[in-house]
């Protein structure tokens, strides 16, 4: 009976809360920008960060900044920034096992909320909806690991 793993030794992964940490919308050239008929160029910046709150509990934040510019005029139509966060319980894993969970699984859970919020905000601002493409967080994680492993040349 002592060979059986106790529940506290089993890996644990739980979502404790999903919440909007910060959201902002800027339309620097309103109301004149609404007269423009040109389709804007969309630029997307994405960042994910995991911060320990207590032992085995992490706050993971996915930050997305969407900037829509008029290419002919180099003028910003709108800027949307969303910080979508979640509190995740991740226990009984080694650091090596925990890192991919925090870098891939948690952002994969949060990103659909980001996509919905960005689309909703662009529509509420009076523009066409912005549909963000899915993100492959596994590929991003692997790319970051390769960059960290490759020595920089001077």
- Under 8 Å CB-to-CB from 20, ≥6 apart: which residues? 82, 83, 84, 85, 113, 117
Describe the strand order of the beta sheet including 57-70 as a list of residue ranges. Answer: 12-26, 75-91, 57-70, 41-54
Prediction pTM value? 0.86
Identify the CA nearest to 50 among candidates 41, 37, 63, 40.
63
For residue 150, name the pLDDT band (cuts at 50, 70, 90): confident
Number of domains forming the structure of the chain: 1
Q: How far apart are CA 68 and CA 81, in angstroms?
A: 12
* E strand spans, 1-148: 12-26, 41-54, 57-70, 75-91
Mean pLDDT, residues 55-62: 98
Q: Is 23 inside a domain boundary?
A: yes
CATH number assigned to the domain comprising residue 86: 3.10.420.10
Q: Is 2 inside a domain boundary?
A: no
Q: How far apart are CA 121 and CA 145, in angstroms?
A: 33
Q: Is 145 inside a domain boundary?
A: no
Q: Is 79 inside a domain boundary?
A: yes
Please report which helix (H) or strand (E) contains residue 132, including its range: none
Q: How many CA atoms lie within 13 A of 97 on its CB side?
A: 9
Q: Is 136 inside a domain boundary?
A: no
Reported as a single tens digit per residue, the pLDDT across 67-109 is 999 987 789 999 999 999 999 999 999 999 999 999 999 999 9
Q: How far apart are CA 139 and CA 21, in angstroms?
A: 25
- In the chain, % helix, strand, coil (3-state, to 5) comes to 30, 40, 30
Give the domain extent around 24. Answer: 11-127
For residue 120, name the pLDDT band (cuts at 50, 70, 90): very high
């Amino acid at each position: 009976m002592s060979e059986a793993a106790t529940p506290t030794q089993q890996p644990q992964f739980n979502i404790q809360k999903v919440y909007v940490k910060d959201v902002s919308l800027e339309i620097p050239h309103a109301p004149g920008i609404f007269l423009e008929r040109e389709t804007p160029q969309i630029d997307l910046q994405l960042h994910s960060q995991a911060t320990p709150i207590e032992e085995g509990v992490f706050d993971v934040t996915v930050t997305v900044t969407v900037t829509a510019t008029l290419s002919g005029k180099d003028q910003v139509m709108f800027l949307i920034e969303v910080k979508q966060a979640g509190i995740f319980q991740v226990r009984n894993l080694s650091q090596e096992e925990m890192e991919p969970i925090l870098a891939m699984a948690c952002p994969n859970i949060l990103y659909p909320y980001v996509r919905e919020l960005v689309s909703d905000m662009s529509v509420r601002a009076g523009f066409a909806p912005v549909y963000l493409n899915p993100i492959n967080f596994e590929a991003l994680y692997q790319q970051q690991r390769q960059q960290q492993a490759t020595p920089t040349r001077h």
